[in-house]
Chains A and B, each alone.
Chain A
Amino acid sequence: ETGVTQTPRHLVMGMTNKKSLKCEQHLGHNAMYWYKQSAKKPLELMFVYSLEERVENNSVPSRFSPECPNSSHLFLHLHTLQPEDSALYLCASSQETGWGAYNEQFFGPGTRLTVL
């Protein structure tokens, strides 16, 4: 596997379910990101991990819980979601090198989530 992979690619869940999204990067990067992409707000940054430490939580509801066990893996744990949480969830990674540095982010294909 190369680049950034995400599983599952599609997920349908009820509002009372608990599920997890997984992201894995094979690029040796030290920063990972979760984004939400929906028709209402096209690309929202949710969480940022740098060197396995969460450095940003962009006012995301607590029903979304991220986990970064190591620099290659990122999870998004979901529980008691709402229908408005239906969206494409994108994971990305980059090499964090400090102020003003080139910061290309590499994206996975996303998980299409539908909450019934």
Chain B
Amino acid sequence: GEDVEQSLFLSVREGDSSVINCTYTDSSSTYLYWYKQEPGAGLQLLTYIFSNMDMKQDQRLTVLLNKKDKHLSLRIADTQTGDSAIYFCAESAFSGGYNKLIFGAGTRLAVHP
């Protein structure tokens, strides 16, 4: 079945790098996504990676994909207090004739001075 797992909490010091890890089960997922949810808000797409890529870099964000181990990670360089939020990993799935996203439980990132 489809399942996405991620650790629930991460605490880092301001200026350090943050690494949030995720494992997924659907090997046919063509895209994998990282969403960010700030307090009192909905989810917002942070970045995504196509399944034939190993790495994607976008400014302070680096996504690494290991398809063999079905492992996805998000690295945030020079973490700032504004990065404090919940980060959701999601895999794409196609069933019943339409696409849907399977989300992990979310990792709460706390950035402290």
Contact = CB atoms under 8 A, between A and B. Distances in A.
A98 B98 CA distance: 6
Interface in A72-116: 90, 92, 94, 96-110
Nearest to A4: B42
B94 interface: yes
B24 interface: no
A96 B106 contact: no
A96 B98 contact: yes
Contacts of B100: 33, 45, 48, 56, 103
A109 B88 contact: no
A109 B42 contact: yes
Interface string A33-68: 100000000110100101000011000000000000
Q: How large is the interface on B (under 10, 10 to 19, 20 to 34, 35 or more residues)?
A: 20 to 34
Interface string B69-113: 000000000000000000010001010111111010110000000
B40 interface: yes
A56 B101 contact: no
A31 interface: yes
A107 B43 contact: yes
Interface residues of A, number: 28
Contacts of B103: 42-43
Nearest to B40: A109
A27 to B, nearest CB: 13
Contact of B101 (A55, A99, A100, A105): A105
11 contacts: A43-B88, A48-B98, A90-B43, A94-B99, A96-B99, A98-B99, A99-B99, A100-B30, A103-B100, A103-B101, A110-B41
Given A104-B48, A107-B35, 20 more contacts: A42-B106, A43-B106, A48-B98, A48-B100, A50-B97, A50-B98, A90-B42, A90-B43, A94-B99, A97-B99, A99-B94, A100-B94, A102-B31, A103-B100, A107-B42, A107-B43, A108-B42, A109-B40, A109-B42, A110-B42
